[in-house]
Structure 1
Amino acid sequence: MWIGWIEFDVLLGDVHSLKAKRSVVRPLVAELGRRFPVSVAETGHQELHRRALVGASAVAGDAAHLVAVLDQIERFVAGRPEIELLSARRGLHSTEDE
């Protein structure tokens, strides 16, 4: 079994309050969950107005499939016009790594 994760550090557009931030981050998280077979959450920078960390994770039987899903997710996030993707970090782990 393979476990993969990806975390995005994003800069939000014209956002000046936490309420406005939620109106950008929540739809992004929801859309990722609908489009891809992953679990998604805002994972950091909750106190900052213009920054967010969004993480996604998935489990698969082989690493190649997992890498393909993570690549698709990264392309999707990078293509969103309302945010700027500052960085993406990812990891893959096998249950046999232990």
Structure 2
Amino acid sequence: MIIGICTCEIFIYNANSLKSKRSVVKSIVEKSKNRFNVSIAEVGENDKWQKSVIGFATVSKDKKIVDETMENVIQFFNSYSEIEIMNIEKEIL
């Protein structure tokens, strides 16, 4: 069993309150969960308006599938014009 773990630190451009930030983060999390079947949540920077850390994990029997899934989720994050990925940390176990 291969486990892929990734955290992405993101900057949210037009977030002027925690409510607007959470709206963007919730959209990203829910769409990623449904599209890629990953376990995903906001895992850091919960009280900052324009920053968030989103973590996700995927499991497979094949390392190639884990790599592809993680890259697809990151590319999906990049498709959002409201955010910019500032840092990515990936680990495969």
* TM band (smaller chain): over 0.9
Moved over 2 A (4+): none
- Tell me by how many angstroms 1:82 deviates: 0.9
1:83 matched to which residue of 2? 83
Question: Structure 1: which amino acid aligns with 2:89?
Answer: R
Give the aligned residue type for 2:60: A
- Superposition RMSD in Å: 0.8
Q: TM-score, normalised on structure 1? A: 0.91
Q: Paired residue for 1:96?
A: none
In the TM superposition, residue 39 of structure 1 has moved relative to its aligned partner by: 0.5
Counterpart position of 2:28: 28
Consecutive unaligned residues of structure 2, counting only runs of 5 or more, are none
Bigger mean CA deviation after superposition, 39-48 or 70-79: 70-79
Distance in 1 between residues matched to 2:85 and 2:31, nearest whole Å:
16
Please give the residue correspondences for 1:14-93 in structure 2 after superposition, counting only pairs within 5 Å.
14-93=14-93
Q: Tell me, which stretches of 5 or more residues in structure 1 are unaligned?
A: 94-98
* Percentage of matched positions with identical amino acids: 28
User: How far is the alpha carbon of 1:26 from its aligned partner?
Assistant: 0.5
Point out the structure with max Rg over C-alpha. 1
Shift, 1:8, TM fit: 0.7
Give the drift of 1:20.
1.1
- Kindly indicate whether residue 5 of structure 2 is the aligned counterpart of residue 5 of structure 1: yes
Further displaced range: 45-54 or 78-87: 78-87
